[in-house]
Every structure is written in C-alpha cells, then in structure tokens.
DNA sequence: TTGACTGGAGAACGTTCGTTCTCTAGTCTA
DNA sequence: TAGACTAGAGAACGAACGTTCTCCAGTCAA
C-alpha cells in the first residue's frame, strides 16, 4: 500500500464518473465490496445473468484483483453465500431473542421471514434460488446451500426445543418455514406474502399448542 | 438418411450413431420429442446450462423446425413447464384417488412427492428450480411457475376440503408440501428425503386430527 | 424424366461470457 | 532524481451461446 492510503484510509470511492472504484482500497474492503455487489446482483438477476464485468463495475474492484482474491466466479458465489449465511442467521437470532417467551420466539421466525420476503426487489430465498440455478452443475454451490439449510434447520430446532416442543414439531416448524420461503418468493406481491406468512404462523402455533396440550395430558 | 426411413413413417430414430432423428416425424411428434428432451435436460442441468444444440441433438428435431415451432428458447421452456404441469398434477390426482378415505388421500400426497423426489437424477421441484434460475429475468417463466403453484395449491385445497378440514389446515398442508419439495430437492440423498417426507406427513396428520378434534369439540 | 419444392444438417454470424494479458500512471527505495 | 515495481483500466482471447442462413438430398406433380 502507499502513502495516500495512510493519509486517507477511509477513501473507498474516487472515480469522477460516479461509479465505484476500489482504487487505494485495502484488500479486505475490496473483498467486502466485491461480495456486496455479488450478493445484490446474483440475488436479483441470478448467477449466470451477471457477468464478471458487471461485478467489477458495481464493486469497483478490478478484474485482476477479483481473480487474485478468488480462483473464479464459482468461488465468488460460494463465498458470498457463506458470508450471507452468517449474517442472515445472526439477524434472525437477534430478532427472535428480542422476545422473552420461548413460544413467541418460534412464531417470531415467521414474522422475520415475512419482513425479508416483502422488501422491494426481493425474490425469495437466495439459497433456494442458487440451488435451482446451479445445484445441478456446481457441487461447491450445492454444498453451500446444504450447509445453510442444515444450519437453519438446527437453529430452528434449538428454538423449538427451548419452547418445550417435540422434535417432530421442530421438523414441522422447519418445513413450514421452508414452505413460506419458497412460496413467498414465487407469489411476488406483498399481500400474498403476508397471507402466506400468516398461514405458516398459524399452523406453527397450532402445532406448538397441540404439543403443549399433549404434554399436559401426558402429565409432563 | 436413406429410403428405409421413407418406407417406415412411424420410425422415430434412425441415425447410425444412435442419436435421435426427427426425419419424417410428424410435427406434433417433433414437438413432443423436443419437449421431452427439454424437460429432461433443463431439469437435470438447468436452463442456461443446456444450449439449443443439445436440445437438437437429444430430440432429433432440427434447429430450423424448433424455431418454426417456437419463437425462441424461452418459449420452449414455458411450453415444457406447462406440459409438465398437466402431466404432473394428473399423476398426483390419479395417485391419491386410489385411496378411498379422504383423510388418507391427503397424506398420500406426501407419499407421492417422496416417490418423485428420490428417483435417480432427481433434483427437487422443476418449477422451484426454474424460478430460482429465471424468475428474475424471464417474466413468462415466472408466470408459468406461478400458474403451476397456484394450481397445485388449489388441488390440495380440494383434497383437504373433501377430508372435512378447514381452509387454515389446507394452507398448512400446502406449505408442508412446498417445504418437502424444496428440502427434499436440496438434501439429495434418499434417506434424508424419506425422513423429510415422514416429517411432513406426520405434521399433516396432526393438523388434520386437530381439525377433526376441534370440529368434534365444537359439535360439528 | 424434369423441374419446383420441402426440409434437414450443419455452417455461419454476431454477441457475450470467463479469464488472461498489456500498457501505463503512480509510488517507493536508494 | 532514477529506476524498479505495483496495481488498475481495459483490451484481448478463445469458447459457447441463441439464432439465422446456406446448401443439398429427397419428394412429388406433370
């Protein structure tokens, strides 16, 4: 790195044309900028519809450096999915733990998913979409999707266990969440997403109640 | 090609290399052969990973005729999805109606989905995958997916209504089915698919039972 | 048999892709 | 200041794509 960076290490964009530039950006910021652009563009348009050139333009990271950071486009996609996984599940955890009641926490999962699904430009679950596009041709991407889905399922299992419900109920809570994710992504408009989320939440509530009722009947 | 083909108009393949040939095939058969190839290849590898040349080779239908039958690749994909929709839902209907008990019919949906998900080369739900790949860039494909999912949901609604359960239960049955489709597609191996199907089936059963119990309690 | 016609095989075309290479402006050491 | 070096902007490259076009074997009416 050079003296200019030392003088202004916060400098991130500097092009006169207004497009992002990675000039003098430290490598870690460049990687972040690249993954930011990849996350947004791949999510909105798909993986194959976005070329490396658009990633370069949107992130301001030169092609030469992109290929210095990652061996190829596929690796960028995997890194993006993994980074998103950490952030996504962290945000979900933060959201649900704002509630004290363990039962309410489980239902709050659906609130959070609904919020995520109705935003502008949203197109469902990034991992489901990635699997749909690349699951058949890219094993690394397929594995990243399986990692995320397994982690999500595990996280839900913990929440449901804390609510005192059975593992069978946890399984159902998970399938309802996946059903909401895929259906909410496809239907498109916000009203339908809200309706679908309400359906999932109500079904989850019924299953949690019936577990509790069963437990009471069994004297647990 | 040779005179032997002319003598046998029903002949559908005739290449010495073993690949399909559409020579002398009537246009309706050519369309069917094309959609057969499109269905298989697009499903296994994705839409953008399969070029028109491979469609031509696999179906035996010349490019000239493909572009005579459809204005472009996108239209082939939409036609394939629509044709598959009719066959897919027809087969589901046939399967569930082999059972007499309306309650059992609903559960049989999950049996059938499980069968579909464990076959070799299977990669989940063709419509979910198509949406993941093209939902952001092709409105005709996105609409075909929405058509199919709306029809599937409606079909399930009829089955659940015939079982005497509420519309809320029907919604849950649908979300569980979607959750099974997406999860079963991603997890890959047959054991995990079977386990997921069992989870969905059990949750559906509980929801149907609780509806029935609720109805009895309410004196209906 | 002749001539017009049809339709298939595959070449051709223009574009776009992922990836690599070149050139140059700017920086640091001595 | 001189020279080695770094890194970015964009050209270059080979491959593959969707689509169109060319050419010729085969067919049918007269």
Q: In A, which residues are within 8 Å of B174 by CB distance?
A: 179, 183, 199
Number of domains comprising chain A: 2
Q: Residue B214 and residue A100: Cα distance in Å, rounded?
A: 29
pLDDT at residue B177 is higher than 50: yes
Is residue B100 domain-shared with residue B160, that is, in the same domain? yes
Cβ neighbours for A66, distance < 8 A, ≥ 6 positions apart: A34, A52, A55, A56, A76
Which range (A12-21, A27-36, A74-83, A171-180) has the least confidence?
Answer: A12-21
**Exposure of A205 by Cβ count < 10 A (0-12 exposed, 13-18 middle, 19+ buried)?**
middle
Higher local confidence (pLDDT), B216 or B49: B49
Is residue B154 domain-shared with residue B51, that is, in the same domain? no
**CATH number where B174 lies:** 1.10.357.10
Is residue B64 domain-shared with residue B82, that is, in the same domain? no
**Structure token digits, residue B17:** 């290399």
Q: Considering A20, A44, A69, which residue would you say is the last residue of a domain?
A: A69
Is residue A141 domain-shared with residue A194, that is, in the same domain? yes
Structural domain for B56, as ranges: 19-69
Nucleotides of C under 7 A from a protein CB: 7-11, 16-22, 26-28
B166-188 average pLDDT score:
97
Statement: the CB of A112 is under 7 Å from strand C? no
Q: Residue B186 and residue A182: Cα distance in Å, rounded?
A: 13
Q: What percent of chain B has pLDDT over 70?
A: 83
Is residue A109 domain-shared with residue A19, that is, in the same domain? no
Residue B77 included in any domain: yes
Is residue B117 domain-shared with residue B190, that is, in the same domain? yes
B14-24 average pLDDT score:
39
Residue A210 — pLDDT band, cuts 50, 70, 90?
Answer: confident
Q: Considering B69, B102, B132, which residue would you say is the last residue of a domain?
A: B69
Residue B2 included in any domain: no
Distance A42 CA to C17 C1' (A): 16
Residue B50 included in any domain: yes
Is residue A211 domain-shared with residue A143, that is, in the same domain? yes
Q: What percent of chain A has pLDDT over 70?
A: 83
Residue A212 — pLDDT band, cuts 50, 70, 90?
Answer: low
**Exposure of A125 by Cβ count < 10 A (0-12 exposed, 13-18 middle, 19+ buried)?**
buried
Q: Residue B6 and residue B23: Cα distance in Å, rounded?
A: 9
**Structure token digits, residue A185:** 């992504």
B176-205 average pLDDT score:
97
The dihedral formed by the CA atoms of A200, A205, A211 and A214, expressed in degrees to the nearest 10:
-130
**Spatial CA neighbour of B199 closest among A172, A28, A74:** A172
Q: Residue B67 and residue B62: Cα distance in Å, rounded?
A: 9
B77-83 average pLDDT score:
98
Task: Name the closest residue on chain B to residue A207, using Cα atoms.
Answer: B207
Residue B14 included in any domain: no
**What integer pLDDT is reported at residue A25 of this predicted model?**
67
Is residue B119 domain-shared with residue B197, that is, in the same domain? yes
Is residue B59 domain-shared with residue B77, that is, in the same domain? no
**Spatial CA neighbour of B200 closest among A169, A143, A24:** A169
Please judge whether A146 and B172 are an interchain contact, meaning their C-beta atoms are less than 8 angstroms apart: no
User: Per residue in A86-119, pLDDT tens?
Assistant: 999 999 999 999 999 999 999 999 999 999 999 8
Q: In A, which residues are within 8 Å of B183 by CB distance?
A: 149, 174-175, 178
Alpha carbon of A186: minimum distance to chain B alpha carbons (Å): 6
pLDDT at residue A205 is higher than 60: yes
pLDDT at residue B215 is higher than 60: no
Statement: the CB of A74 is under 7 Å from strand C? yes
Residue B12 included in any domain: no
pLDDT at residue A71 is higher than 70: yes
Residue B1 included in any domain: no
SS3 B29: helix
Q: Residue A209 and residue B206: Cα distance in Å, rounded?
A: 11
pLDDT at residue B156 is higher than 50: yes
Of B131, B172, B177, the CB nearest to A132: B131
Q: Considering A17, A44, A69, which residue would you say is the last residue of a domain?
A: A69
Q: How many CB pairs under 8 A join A and B?
A: 163
Residue B5 included in any domain: no
B61-90 average pLDDT score:
97
Statement: the CB of A119 is under 7 Å from strand C? no
Alpha carbon of A207: minimum distance to chain B alpha carbons (Å): 7
Of B135, B136, B168, the CB nearest to A202: B168
Which range (A93-97, A179-183, B17-21, B65-69) has the least confidence?
Answer: B17-21
B56-68 average pLDDT score:
96
Using alpha carbons only, what angle is made at residue A148 by residues B129 and A66, rounded to the nearest 5 degrees? 85
Is residue B96 domain-shared with residue B163, that is, in the same domain? yes
pLDDT at residue B43 is higher than 80: yes
- Asked whether the beta carbons of B113 and A22 are under 8 A apart, the reply is no
A31-55 average pLDDT score:
97
Is residue A206 domain-shared with residue A166, that is, in the same domain? yes
Is residue A62 domain-shared with residue A101, that is, in the same domain? no
**What integer pLDDT is reported at residue B180 of this predicted model?**
98
pLDDT at residue A74 is higher than 60: yes
Residue B36 — pLDDT band, cuts 50, 70, 90?
Answer: very high
Q: How far apart are the first and last CA of chain B?
A: 71
**CATH number where B24 lies:** 1.10.10
Of A124, A175, A177, the CB nearest to B180: A175
pLDDT at residue B96 is higher than 90: yes
Of B131, B136, B200, the CB nearest to A45: B136
User: Per residue in A11-24, pLDDT tens?
Assistant: 333 332 334 444 45
**What integer pLDDT is reported at residue A41 of this predicted model?**
97
Higher local confidence (pLDDT), B106 or B27: B106
**What integer pLDDT is reported at residue A175 of this predicted model?**
98
Q: What is the mean pLDDT of chain A?
A: 87
Q: Please write down the HEC assignment for all residues of chain A.
A: CCHHHHHCCCCCCCCCCCCCCCCCCCHHHHHHHHHHHHHHHHHHHCCCCCCHHHHHHHHCCCHHHHHHHCCCHHHHHHHHHHHHHHHHHHHHHHHHCCCCCHHHHHHHHHHHHHHHHHCCCCCCCHHHHHHHHHCCCCHHHHHHHHHHHHHHHHHHHHHHHHCCCCHHHHHHHHHHHHHHHHHHHHHCCHHHHHHHHHHHHHHHHHHHHHHHHHHHHCCC
- Work out the number of other CB atoms within 10 angstroms of the CB of residue B175: 30
Q: Residue A179 and residue A156: Cα distance in Å, rounded?
A: 14
Q: In B, which residues are within 8 Å of A136 by CB distance?
A: 44-46, 49, 123
């Amino acid at each position: 790195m050079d003296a200019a960076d030392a003088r202004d290490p916060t400098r991130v964009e500097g092009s006169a044309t207004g497009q992002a530039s990675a000039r003098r950006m430290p490598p870690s910021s460049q990687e972040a900028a690249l993954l930011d652009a990849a996350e947004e563009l791949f999510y909105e348009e798909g993986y194959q519809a976005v070329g490396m050139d658009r990633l370069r333009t949107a992130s301001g990271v030169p092609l030469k450096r992109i290929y210095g950071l990652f061996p190829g486009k596929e690796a960028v996609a995997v890194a993006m999915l993994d980074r998103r996984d950490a952030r996504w599940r962290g945000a979900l955890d933060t959201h649900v733990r704002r509630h004290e009641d363990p039962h309410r926490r489980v239902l709050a999962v659906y609130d959070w998913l609904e919020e995520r699904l109705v935003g502008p430009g949203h197109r469902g679950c990034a991992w489901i979409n990635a699997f749909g596009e690349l699951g058949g041709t890219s094993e690394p991407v397929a594995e990243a999707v399986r990692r995320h889905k397994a982690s999500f399922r595990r996280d839900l299992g913990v929440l449901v266990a804390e609510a005192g419900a059975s593992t069978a109920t946890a399984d159902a809570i998970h399938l309802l969440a996946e059903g909401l994710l895929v259906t909410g992504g496809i239907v498109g408009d916000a009203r339908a997403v809200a309706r679908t989320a309400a359906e999932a939440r109500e079904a989850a509530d019924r299953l949690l109640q019936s577990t509790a009722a069963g437990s009471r009947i069994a004297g647990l």
